[in-house]
């Protein structure tokens, strides 16, 4: 008996941060704008999302604001509002779960759905159209949907047509739809590996699968990695949507690669704050506590260092965790231009699973945390010449 084929949707919200900003401020729909920056977004910072009108001018996420302004001087830059984005993300995921519990959220703006059991009631293509229309009608969120028998193929399919695309990618379509794509568009191929493959003449996914290129490709990756990619391309990789796979992470990390090497310290600090805010919101959403924080720096010569700090007790004190990350950065950074920066929140545990017993040691640590925060508040108040932030009691 022939094994039934799974039907997997990959649903990707189009230019999500920009879409939310247009919902909140409809006048932006007619403007060339992008979302990004840190606390000093007017003087520096990194773009997290470019609207489609901005992309027309070559502006993209990961680009510095000054670089984007050079491409289009009239660009409007809207500061990030992560709490708002998480609100709409929850609406998005909760809506998908009205169809099936087999929903796996993989980022703030994308998720996989296994709709195999629903195909007896409604054709998958009709269901995709319904979901796409409902997301716009209910929440004004445009999306692209990939329909395929595996996770990898559905992800590739959703990227093929944006915005508001629906693409079906069956195994028999792989050669005609997947092979012609440039290798840089292949999900999972790292940014460092892409140029190496291109230099070897591996310019498309079709070039990658040619047996004659096997030995050539092994110059830049292991046999195990190569075989993994081949399984992905051929539609032989995972078709399991497991909602609990990353439901309770033991760590949350967030990093960004700049489109240029930079040693502008204010930009680096703002980026750390932005990365931390995104990670912290996820940690709080899952009701988790953190015991270790870390910083990752990759310099312009590709040397990478990671430093972390572990506390005596778990905590979700936002100010304390951020200050610890900034302290690690201050101790680690040596003014060398940086290509990539990242932060991590580690040794995460559910708040309900952590029983706090106050003894002399963790009481002193709590007091030390309070001192760190109050010292930071003192510095901020000194800069403006008056008390704008109250100290902790």
* Catalytic sites, residue numbers: 110
**CA atoms 123, 125, 126, 132: torsion sign:** positive
Matching residue, tokens 């100010």: 319
Cis-peptide, bond into residue 340, ω within 30° of zero? no
Which positions ≥6 away from 4 have C-beta within 8 Å? 116
Report CA dihedral (203, 209, 211, 212) to the nearest 10 degrees: -10
> 373 is written with which tokens?
């925060």
CB 168 within 8 A of CB 235: no
How far apart are the C-alpha atoms of 96 and 241, rounded to whole Å?
13
Range list of β-strands (E), 51-137: 76-78, 103-107, 110-114
Range list of β-strands (E), 224-336: 251-262, 288-299, 304-315
Please give the helix or strand (H or E) that residue 230 lies within, else none.
Answer: helix 223-233
How far apart are the C-alpha atoms of 233 and 174, rounded to whole Å?
8
How far lies 86's CA from each of 83, 90, 109, in Å? 5, 6, 9
Starting from the edge strand earliest in sequence, which strands make up the sheet with 47-50, in order?
47-50, 33-36, 76-78
CB 40 within 8 A of CB 268: no
CB 217 within 8 A of CB 225: no
């Amino acid at each position: 008996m022939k094994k039934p084929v799974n039907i997997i949707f990959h649903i990707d919200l189009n230019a999500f941060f920009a879409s939310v900003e247009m919902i909140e401020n409809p006048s932006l729909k007619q403007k060339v704008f992008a979302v990004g920056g840190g606390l000093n977004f007017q003087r520096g910072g990194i773009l997290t999302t470019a609207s489609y009108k901005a992309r027309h001018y070559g502006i993209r996420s990961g680009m510095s604001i000054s670089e984007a302004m050079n491409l289009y001087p009239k660009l409007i830059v809207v500061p990030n509002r992560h709490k708002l984005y998480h609100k709409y993300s929850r609406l998005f995921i909760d809506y998908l779960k009205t169809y099936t519990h087999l929903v796996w959220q993989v980022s703030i703006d994308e998720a996989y759905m296994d709709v195999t059991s629903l195909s007896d009631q409604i054709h998958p293509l009709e269901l995709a159209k319904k979901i796409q229309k409902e997301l716009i009608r209910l929440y004004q969120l445009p999306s692209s949907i990939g329909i395929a028998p595996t996770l990898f193929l559905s992800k590739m399919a959703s990227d093929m047509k944006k915005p508001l695309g629906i693409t079906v990618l069956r195994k028999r379509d792989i050669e005609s739809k997947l092979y012609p794509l440039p290798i840089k568009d292949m999900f999972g191929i790292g940014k460092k590996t892409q140029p190496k493959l291109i230099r070897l003449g591996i310019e498309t996914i079709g070039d990658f699968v040619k047996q004659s290129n096997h030995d050539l490709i092994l110059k830049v990756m292991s046999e195990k990695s190569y075989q993994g990619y081949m399984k992905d391309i051929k539609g032989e990789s995972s078709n399991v949507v497991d909602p609990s796979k990353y439901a309770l992470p033991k760590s949350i990390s967030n990093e960004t690669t700049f489109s240029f090497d930079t040693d502008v310290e204010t930009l680096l600090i703002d980026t750390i704050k932005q990365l931390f805010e995104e990670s912290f919101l996820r940690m709080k959403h899952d009701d988790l506590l953190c015991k270790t924080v870390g910083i990752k720096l990759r310099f312009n010569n590709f040397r990478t260092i990671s430093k972390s700090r572990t506390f005596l007790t778990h905590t979700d004190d936002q100010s304390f965790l951020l200050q610890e990350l900034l302290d690690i950065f201050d101790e680690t950074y040596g003014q060398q231009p940086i290509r990539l920066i990242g932060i991590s929140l580690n040794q995460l545990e559910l708040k309900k699973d952590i029983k706090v017993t106050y003894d002399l040691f963790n009481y002193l640590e709590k007091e030390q945390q309070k001192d760190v925060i109050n010292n930071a508040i003192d510095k901020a108040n000194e800069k403006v010449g008056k008390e704008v932030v109250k100290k902790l009691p």
